[in-house]
Structure 1
Amino acid sequence: MEIQTSDMGLVARVAQLGKYYGDGERRVTALDDVSIGIRRGQFTAIMGPSGSGKSTLMHVMAGLDTPSEGRVWLGDDEITGLGDAALTKLRRRRIGFVFQAFNLIPTLDVRGNILLPFQLDGSAPTAEEQRRIDALLARLGLQDRVRHRPHELSGGQQQRVAIARALATRPDVIFADEPTGALDSRTGREVLGLLRSAVETSGQSIAMVTHDPIAASHADRILFLADGRIVADHGAMRPEEISSVMLQLERVQA
């Protein structure tokens, strides 16, 4: 009997994953025989030089892209061959997303953006879920901004709304793609602190793609990619240690 992803203490995993673009001599390898899992209740950073495959790995694990070969699971459910409609439903119900560009709906206020995953799923939050959302708004300092639209908020406030939206449905895992890339350093630290807090206080599972050693230093675990392969898997590291590994990878890739 196949060992289940949950038996491994993982919320998501891939096995012998390959992702290619083009054919023949023009084929470009984005991911090459990657087998890795995201651990439950842990903050994982995914790093690597430009073109190493880190964003592609996240997109495949999150069901935003399909693999060329290999298998993908979310929890104990294999999603490798799911169609678009099934994947959309799965992402809406079980995955949270935080992007560099915030991806808020400009015509909705803060509360409307946070409740969007429920509305897209044709449901309304229960009383308990509403209490949790109100607590999130308070914790993120957004309770006085619930009627504001995105253009009335600072970049840091917009990213906090995106984090609240990702946490609102209590998803299996949150995928964050360069979540501090559009923020100044002080606001970026605040956002990373909020993600760290979600892991420590709620047991949330987070996988974050970043190129920033300071951002990655907030993680419990750091995966390093180069040329589409996992080349190192470390526990928590200091920013200067992360920078040293990245510099070595970039020298090799150059």
Structure 2
Amino acid sequence: MTDAAAVRPPERVAAVEAYGLRRSFVQGGESVEVLDIAALCIPSGAIYGLAGPSGCGKTTLLHLCAGLLPPSAGELRVLGTELPLLPQHARDRFRARHVGYVFQRFNLIPAVSAIENVLLPMGFANVLPVAQRRERAETLLRRVGLGHRLHHRPAALSHGEQQRVGIARALANRPALLLADEPTASLEAGRSDAVLELLIEVASEAGAALLIASHDARVLGRLEHVLQMPVFNGVAPAPS
């Protein structure tokens, strides 16, 4: 099996391709299906929203695309790589190098500062030269309005500030695919607009695909493409 450390996304491949993708969980001794997608193609560099009520599978789809969950059935290629076929350690390495994830519940490490939370994935992925990492971490935190909070731990930050640290962390390794789960849910309106602009701007600068799951009609209204969940046939135009 090829280690993900050696995997590089080929040029012009789709960011996400899925066929017959399903995911179910066992609940109360019974299998409960939470995701069933006939076909889905998100082109490289595209910006998409995922809309739908709670429980419709938005977060599950993001987790599958990040390699955090395996599918129960079907095919899934992320940046040209059949992610479910990789062993766990290789999926972790692939995600660190190529996928940025903005978690709805932040998932920051409480024992370290904001800047250390951004620096840690850089060390694991080992994509950027060591000499450039701190400067990039500081730049990203300033871009999300936290230049004055670099050395504060998560407990000393508001929910909105923690979310912004999570966004900076997701951007740290210049991912080719950026996944965001309700990235503005903990932010006030003015900051929400700024963060959405930042996500779109940084993704566009890097040519990265951006997939945002959101309940917010204002967020979804800013996006050119929106997939309504559940997606039974979400085929987007294939990359030319």
TM range (shorter): 0.7 to 0.9
What's the offset of the Cα at 1:165? 0.8
What's the offset of the Cα at 1:121? 4.2
Q: Give the alignment of 1:91-130 within 5 angstroms.
A: 91-121=95-125, 125-130=129-134
Q: Relative to 1, partners in 2 of residues 1:92 and 1:9: Cα closer, same or farther, differing over 3 Å?
A: closer
Larger radius of gyration: 1
Instruction: Give 1:31's match in structure 2, choosing from 30, 35, 39.
Output: 35
Whether the 8 Å contact between 1:156 and 1:191 is mirrored in structure 2 is no
Instruction: Give 1:176's match in structure 2, choosing from 157, 174, 180.
Output: 180
**Match in the other structure for 1:229:** 232
Per-residue Cα deviation, 1:51-94 (whole angstroms, up to 9, x for no partner): 32222222111111111111111212111222222211211221
TM-score, normalised with respect to structure 1: 0.78
Per-residue Cα deviation, 1:187-217 (whole angstroms, up to 9, x for no partner): 3222212212213333332111112211212
Per-residue Cα deviation, 1:92-126 (whole angstroms, up to 9, x for no partner): 22111111221111211121011010233478744
**Match in the other structure for 2:160:** 156
Q: Relative to 1, partners in 2 of residues 1:125 and 1:211: Cα closer, same or farther, differing over 3 Å?
A: same
- State how far apart, in whole Å, the 2-side matches of 1:233 and 1:76 are: 16
Q: Relative to 1, partners in 2 of residues 1:34 and 1:199: Cα closer, same or farther, differing over 3 Å?
A: same
Structure 2 unmatched ranges of 5 or more: 1-8
> For the aligned residues, what is the CA RMSD?
2.8
Whether the 8 Å contact between 1:221 and 1:233 is mirrored in structure 2 is no
TM-score, normalised with respect to structure 2: 0.82
What's the offset of the Cα at 1:233? 7.0
- State how far apart, in whole Å, the 2-side matches of 1:58 and 1:51 are: 13
Identity of aligned residues (%): 35
**Match in the other structure for 1:21:** 25
Whether the 8 Å contact between 1:223 and 1:233 is mirrored in structure 2 is no
- Which residue type is aligned with residue 200 of structure 1? S
Secondary structure class of the residue paired with 1:44: strand
- State how far apart, in whole Å, the 2-side matches of 1:155 and 1:125 are: 31
Per-residue Cα deviation, 1:33-63 (whole angstroms, up to 9, x for no partner): 4321222222211112233222222211111
Is 1:203 the counterpart of 2:236? The answer is no
**Match in the other structure for 1:71:** 75
Number of aligned residues: 228
- State how far apart, in whole Å, the 2-side matches of 1:199 and 1:109 are: 25
Q: Relative to 1, partners in 2 of residues 1:140 and 1:184: Cα closer, same or farther, differing over 3 Å?
A: closer
- State how far apart, in whole Å, the 1-side matches of 2:234 and 2:182 are: 20
What's the offset of the Cα at 1:128? 4.2
